[in-house]
Amino acid sequence: MDSARLSRFNQTGPAGIRVSFEFFPPKTAEMEQSLWEAIARLAPLQPNFVSVTYGAGGSTRERTHATVKRILAETMLTPAAHLTCVAATRSEVDTVIGAYASAGVRHIVALRGDPLGGIGERFSPHPGGYENAADLVGGIKRIADVEISVSAYPEKHPESATVAADIDMLKAKVDAGASRAITQFFFENSLYLRYLDRVRASGINIPIVPGILPVQNFKQTKSFAERTGASVPDWLARRFDGLDEDPATRKLIAAAVAAEQVLDLVDQGVTDFHFYTMNRADLVYAICHLLGLRPGQQRQMRPQPFIETERA
Ligand SMILES: Cc1cc2nc3c(=O)[nH]c(=O)nc-3n(C[C@H](O)[C@H](O)[C@H](O)COP(=O)(O)OP(=O)(O)OC[C@H]3O[C@@H](n4cnc5c(N)ncnc54)[C@H](O)[C@@H]3O)c2cc1C
């Protein structure tokens, strides 16, 4: 065992590691069930918060809201609702912010969102809508007293001309009131660490939490990465090579890859991790276990009222 890792790990201690989990709102009853199985499995790890995405073009507005409300009602978790500026006027977005605030949501992940035509199209703000994520952060701050997280891109956003322009946008979001950034996923830790140096050199001091994507399905990950500007190193492709028809081995490799990534980040002093769960618990649970997290004694799911079924 690497003694440097052990000593750093012991110094930090599992209590020093904080995780958050990202879910997407389910489309069908079957997906709803697997989401809730994942939430029930991961909840005892007592994440810092759990976030729920907002579909492209605001397509999941109601489902995101319903999922966040159910998390509030049925668990002790702190939900963070994602919100974008796409295809909505300011007043429509403000209504959503107000609805979250009155439902008891205290954390919003504020995003510009992708253009309606999909990634690669030119984004133009909705007439009368918020211009970009920084503008949205300012709007949220005016309406609700909530914590605001935003996105960050270690390999720069595909629409950004330069990393410097990207960091300028991050600075604008922080100046508007964001207190945490969550990164796009990446597989080379050196990219994140170099980015972090540049962010700190620009005077940005909020936590830049690495977004970790356990590779549940390599083909899907590769195509998603291509669209979002995240690079997929050759070594990663080689690790999944020949495993298309072998899900069991794929899962073991995925766990090994993610374990290597997070433990290396711990060695570099990182203590906070945001996991893109894809609504599945097993890989994320295993990686958190490796990080030293154990189910807490406190109840994380609220007991549900007993509903008596109709007697015959
Ligand atoms: C942690 C995380 C969570 C996400 N959750 C969701 C979600 O729930 N729903 C969803 O739809 N999407 C989500 N996304 C994706 C995100 O909406 C897209 O990446 C979108 O294209 C940019 O939104 P943003 O808030 O990152 O944009 P911004 O922070 O506003 O911009 C990102 C970068 O793009 C550049 N840029 C932006 N606009 C322009 C422009 N017009 N011209 C030139 N450069 C420009 C800026 O330099 C900036 O640095 C998420 C991304 C991350 C990293």
> By CB neighbour count within 10 A (0-12 exposed, 13-18 middle, 19+ buried), where does 24 fall?
buried
pLDDT tens for each residue of 221-240: 999 999 999 999 999 999 99
Ligand 1: distance of its center to the CA of 204 in Å? 18
Phi-psi region of 171 (alpha: psi -120 to 50; beta: other; left: phi over 0): alpha
Q: Dihedrals φ, ψ of 307, to 5°?
A: -105, 115
114 confidence band (pLDDT: 50, 70, 90):
confident
Ligand 1: residues with CB < 6 A are 53-54, 56, 82, 84, 109, 111-114, 123, 132-133, 151, 157, 159-160, 165-166, 169, 182, 184, 211
The reported pLDDT for the residue numbered 175 is: 98
122 confidence band (pLDDT: 50, 70, 90):
confident
pLDDT tens for each residue of 276-299: 999 999 999 999 999 999 998 777
114 contacts: CB under 8 Å, gap ≥ 6: 56, 57, 86, 121, 123
pLDDT tens for each residue of 30-54: 999 999 999 999 999 999 999 999 9
- What pTM does this model have? 0.94
What average pLDDT does the segment 265-269 reach?
95
Measuring from atom 29 of ligand 1, which residue has the nearest CA? 133
Which among 183, 167, 184, 191 is positioned nearest to 228, based on CA atoms?
184
Distance of CA 35 to the CA centre of its chain: 15
Which among 2, 66, 1, 7 is positioned nearest to 35, based on CA atoms?
66
The reported pLDDT for the residue numbered 308 is: 54
CA 17 to each of CA 65, 179, 247: distance values in angstroms, whole numbers, following the listed order: 29, 18, 30
The reported pLDDT for the residue numbered 172 is: 98
Lowest mean pLDDT among 177-181, 204-208, 303-307: 303-307
The reported pLDDT for the residue numbered 307 is: 57
Q: CA quadruple 44, 183, 79, 176: dihedral positive or negative?
A: positive
DSSP 119: B
What average pLDDT does the segment 131-139 reach?
97
Q: Is the pLDDT of residue 24 over 90?
A: yes
The reported pLDDT for the residue numbered 281 is: 97
Query: What's the Rg (C-alpha) of the chain?
Result: 20
pLDDT, mean over the chain: 91
> Do 233 and 188 touch, CB atoms closer than 8 A?
yes
Ligand 1: distance of its center to the CA of 152 in Å? 8
> By CB neighbour count within 10 A (0-12 exposed, 13-18 middle, 19+ buried), where does 100 fall?
buried
The reported pLDDT for the residue numbered 7 is: 39
Measuring from atom 5 of ligand 1, which residue has the nearest CA? 53
The reported pLDDT for the residue numbered 300 is: 84
6 confidence band (pLDDT: 50, 70, 90):
very low
Sequence-ordered alpha helix ranges (H) in 18-103: 29-42, 61-74, 90-103
The reported pLDDT for the residue numbered 302 is: 87
Q: Is the pLDDT of residue 306 over 90?
A: no
Residues recognised as catalytic: 22
- Mapping DSSP to helix (H, G, I), strand (E, B) and coil, where does residue 111 land? strand
CA 240 to each of CA 211, 218, 222, 229, 257: distance values in angstroms, whole numbers, following the listed order: 21, 7, 11, 20, 10
